[in-house]
Chains A and B, each alone.
Chain A
Amino acid sequence: KNEVEQSPQNLTAQEGEFITINCSYSVGISALHWLQQHPGGGIVSLFMLSSGKKKHGRLIATINIQEKHSSLHITASHPRDSAVYICAVSRNFGNEKLTFGTGTRLTIIP
């Protein structure tokens, strides 16, 4: 079993829909990261969180440490949000090497 599991693997939605991507992990962590990768593009860090909730524009990330679960939400989705979203965890303060989930491919249809 992978240490970091994401669901769904693929998600297709209409423009404007509210999107939720889930991530579960099975190890102790120092932080959980959400990353974005556009087709043919590089990886961009979206969020890094160890508790609670963070918001950046239309993106919201939450984490429940007790349940070892995080969600990434996108409000008012837009075709430019189409990308692969990757959940990753770091396990040690001072060495933040990442263990990655397999990613969720999101497609937003106009």
Chain B
Amino acid sequence: GAGVSQSPSNKVTEKGKDVELRCDPISGHTALYWYRQSLGQGLEFLIYFQGNSAPDKSGLPSDRFSAERTGGSVSTLTIQRTQQEDSAVYLCASSLVLSGWQYFGPGTRLTVT
């Protein structure tokens, strides 16, 4: 079956531009996580969606970052006014509710020039 997919796989953008990153979780997975992997910070949590509950946004590094999940499936992570320190691989993961076992997507490599 299909795994978690993310698009684009690579994104190069100029400092100050907005970017949107997309995640398609595994069908039926109600839990969706965004993480970021950067050279300086390693892997870190960004945001968590579970069904219709309010998302856990506690990992978002600044108000330039936002995310939404439409219809309980696809999620979009938006970074406004990108900065060079936003350069990283953005990873999405999904899981069945109460399972905890996470399936990771291939990631989007974001480079801000």
Contacts and interface: CB of A to CB of B under 8 A. Distances in A.
5 contacts: A42-B91, A42-B105, A45-B103, A96-B95, A98-B102
A95 B45 contact: no
Interface in B28-69: 31, 33, 35, 42-45, 48, 50, 56, 59
A96 B100 contact: yes
Contact of A94 (B44, B50, B107): B50
Given A30-B100, A45-B102, A48-B101, A97 B91 contact: no
Given A30-B100, A33-B102, A42-B107, A100 B31 contact: no
A42 B106 contact: yes
Per DSSP, chain A at the interface is strand
Contacts, number: 53
B44 A100 contact: yes
The 10 closest A-B pairs by CB, nearest first: A100-B43, A96-B100, A43-B104, A42-B106, A97-B45, A97-B48, A48-B101, A102-B42, A31-B100, A42-B104
